[in-house]
Amino acid sequence: MEFYISEFDWDEANAGHIQERHQVSAAEVEQCFSNRRKITKKPGSQDRFYLFSKTDGGRHLFIVFQYKGLGIVRPISARDMDKRERKFYENP
């Protein structure tokens, strides 16, 4: 599953939550969308997805995002992957 991404929808609510609760920067989240990634649809949701990827520094992140259409992505949450998520990401 691929998306055309032209813009990230950041505000204090999502950027602050991700940074304060999970110590993940907005720059790290944006890097993950440019690097090798796997995307799956969030069960039961029309517009939310899961992204599994690595930052340029090698940090494995699990990201929940909303695809708003027209290339706009709104990150909802981001954190380090757990072992199961990392295994899913690493396997082809």
Domains along the chain? 7-90 (3.10.450.530)
Residue labelled with tokens 């920067």: 25
- State the pTM of this model: 0.93
pLDDT at 4: 85
Contact call for residues 59 and 79 (beta carbons, < 8 A): no
Q: What's the token pair of residue 91?
A: 């396997």
Provide the pLDDT for residue 20: 96
Query: Per residue in 22-67, pLDDT tens?
Result: 999 999 999 999 999 999 999 998 899 999 999 999 999 999 999 9
Q: Is the pLDDT of residue 1 over 80?
A: no
| Residue 46: per-residue pLDDT | 87
- The span from the CA of 72 to the CA of 74, in Å, is 7
